A and B are shown apart, each in its own frame.
Chain A
Amino acid sequence: MFIACDTFAEATKSASEDNAMPTVRFRTVTSAEFYRVRGSVEEVRPLAKGVIDDLIEALTAPLTAGEKGPGQVKKETDESAPVTVTGESYESAVEEFNRVFLENLWGDGLPLVPPTPERVKWMLSGTSRSPREAIGKVSPKQGVATVEKIAVNAVMAGARPEYLPVIIAIMEALTNEKYDDRHVLLSAGSFILLIVASGPIVKEINMRSGIGFMGHGWRANNTIGRAVRLTTLNIGHIWPALNDMGLTGRISPHTFFTIAENTELSPWEPYHANRDFKTDDSCVTVASIHGHSPMHNFYGGMIGTWNAKDILDRIVESIIRSDRWMFRQWGSKGVGAIPGSGGGGNNHMIILFPELVSEFKKMGYNQESLQNEIYGRASVPYDELSPEEIQGIRTGMEIGVVPPDRKEVFEAALKPGKTVPVMVYPDNVNLFVSGGAPGCAFSFNYYRIPPYNYTALMTRKITGATLTRAGTNNA
């Protein structure tokens, strides 16, 4: 049986259904009381006394007929059924549509564009892929994201057809069998997504990558992100405080952080070229990131002068500061079948502005060599490590948190006089180029191994585009 706080009662019920045990017994205590008294045994004693008889009954009272044979979980709606709304005028019909959809928990709180069959057909004109093609399943209900359902949500978001292949590629990453969509979409920690488009399609669909690139006012950036928000909400059957337990809500909630690389000003090849894709490909990279104080700022041309060496130093210092404490966690066993899940060091998504990258290029760095430089310098002298930190790393090597192909590196590093990297792979440093002149360098981070699946960082090639030269199956 479960015991949970009342604010998690709906989430508990929903999770019981999602995990095939809809009649599992649960009892609740009030959140207001539990959180106030949980700090000590003496304070929590009255609360425990108040529930003990309920707990004993739940453990011993025979199962009822309904509990023994719960039958199938009922579907909340017929998801294939179209919806009809009527109004005295077009405006009142649209208002009624917005009311009904939000009441059904099918909206995001902002006005929606009506997904009429005509508009959905228009949206689908942006892809050569079959409307019936299943892209993947979205947690927690494992709803099926078909191309058509994604298109319906893209219409509601106000997107244009030429954006659809980008949205589909994002959903391919997010619903990949190895991507942990559950943690980023549902956790109480209020995590969020960073979505980065790269390659020639960025310019063709007019994604903003100059000054203000992460803000409002850019239809492509904003509605691509909003389409992903609505698609995850509707395909996964997600709702805040029901099964999305992000305590504060999620920052940039309607659009995630949806940005593009500045391919015009960047002197480097695009990010994806360093991740086994061709330079001319168009790709999206989806990364889960922390939602509380998410940005680590390395500054740039805002007020004071800057130089590339100082910014590089700040990047390295920031990574050491945010990752060193995790050495102890490397020995965490992890949950389920994945060693070290919920930790194992971080991935860093670092956004550099074009002028800065030009300076790095003058210093001799390309994307890969700068990544290696940052990885190598983000290290701690072995002689400064505490016994607990050394033990954490060694346990991580034993249980697979440090993968076999990295053991040799850490065996060599765990010696007097050597330095120990705070990240496991150089690829944990992800360098994107965006922004204008002047610009600002900053980063996000998140666990290298998420809690419930193998990865929370994935790049996908955009395919199937019909309205752009980039992103077709041949480009």
Chain B
Amino acid sequence: MSKEPITLELLNPRGEIEPPPVFAPAPRVADLAGKKIGLYSNGKQGVDNLYTVIEELLKQKYPDVKTTRLTGAFEIRDDEASAWASEVDTFIYAVGD
């Protein structure tokens, strides 16, 4: 004698998400020559060493490039981040975790 299959209807436990607004990244710079490049890290140890070498390598390829560093993650106020971003042509953010 075959038994009827058991079906369980279950309510969904997931939270509804409002799709967030979406922004495109800033247009790329065509070339790094003569540009000011921001090197921003979340303050975890070791990124400073990586950035020291990145700076060296960038300056080997683009002798007139300038770099500026900003370190966080717990020491960056909104106004400082905005001011720093306005000073650079492009930037890298390194997460050192």
Contact = CB atoms under 8 A, between A and B. Distances in A.
Interface of A: 1-5, 8, 12, 17-18, 20-25, 34-35, 38-41, 43-45, 47-49, 52, 55-56, 59-63, 67-73, 75, 77-90, 92-94, 97, 101, 106, 114-117, 120, 137-138, 141-145, 148-149, 152-153, 156, 188, 230, 234-237, 245, 332-337, 339, 341-343, 451
Nearest to A230: B13
A80 B75 contact: no
B15 A82 contact: no
Nearest to B37: A59
Contacts of A152: 11-13
A4 B95 contact: yes
B52 to A, nearest CB: 5
Interface in B38-83: 45-47, 49-50, 52-54, 57-58, 61, 72-78, 80
A438 B74 CA distance: 42
Contacts of A230: 13
B53 A45 contact: yes
Contacts of B52: 41
Contacts of B91: 1
A188 B29 contact: no
Contact of B97 (A78, A87, A188, A237): A188
Contacts of B50: 34, 38, 44, 47-48
Contact of B90 (A8, A59, A144): A59
Given A116-B10, A335-B72, 16 more contacts: A3-B93, A17-B20, A25-B25, A34-B46, A78-B12, A84-B10, A87-B5, A115-B11, A117-B11, A143-B15, A149-B14, A149-B16, A235-B15, A332-B75, A337-B78, A343-B74
Contacts of B30: 60
Contacts of B75: 332-335
Contacts of A68: 24
Nearest to A83: B10
B72 to A, nearest CB: 6
B85 to A, nearest CB: 14
B16 to A, nearest CB: 5
Given A59-B37, A341-B74, A97 B94 contact: no
A60 B97 contact: no
Interface of B: 3, 5-25, 27-32, 37, 45-47, 49-50, 52-54, 57-58, 61, 72-78, 80, 90-97
B23 A3 contact: no
29 contacts: A1-B93, A2-B93, A3-B93, A3-B95, A21-B24, A21-B25, A22-B22, A23-B24, A24-B25, A34-B50, A38-B47, A48-B57, A60-B29, A60-B31, A75-B19, A78-B12, A85-B7, A87-B8, A106-B14, A141-B15, A142-B20, A143-B16, A149-B13, A149-B14, A152-B13, A333-B75, A333-B77, A335-B77, A336-B76
Given A20-B23, A59-B37, A335-B73, A94 B13 contact: no
Contacts of A89: 3, 6
Main secondary structure of the interface of B (DSSP, over half): loop
A115 B17 contact: no
A333 B76 contact: yes
Contacts of A75: 17, 19
Given A75-B19, A153-B13, A334-B74, A69 B24 contact: yes
Contacts of A77: 12, 14
B55 to A, nearest CB: 10
Contacts of B5: 86-88, 93
B25 A451 contact: no
Contacts of A237: 14-15, 17
Contact of A20 (B13, B21, B49, B94): B21
A456 B3 CA distance: 54
A93 B15 contact: no
A342 B28 contact: no
A3 B74 contact: no
Contact of A63 (B14, B23, B25, B97): B25
A342 B10 contact: no
A142 B9 contact: no
A63 B3 CA distance: 59
Contacts of B73: 335, 342, 451
B32 to A, nearest CB: 6
A2 B90 CA distance: 12
Contacts of A79: 12, 14-17
A59 B95 contact: no
Contacts of A4: 94-95, 97
Contacts of A138: 15
B11 A145 contact: no
A73 B14 contact: no
Nearest to A21: B23
A124 to B, nearest CB: 11
Given A8-B97, A38-B49, A90 B24 contact: no
Which 6 A-B pairs have CB atoms at the shortest separation, nearest pair first?
Answer: A143-B15, A38-B46, A235-B15, A342-B74, A48-B53, A79-B14
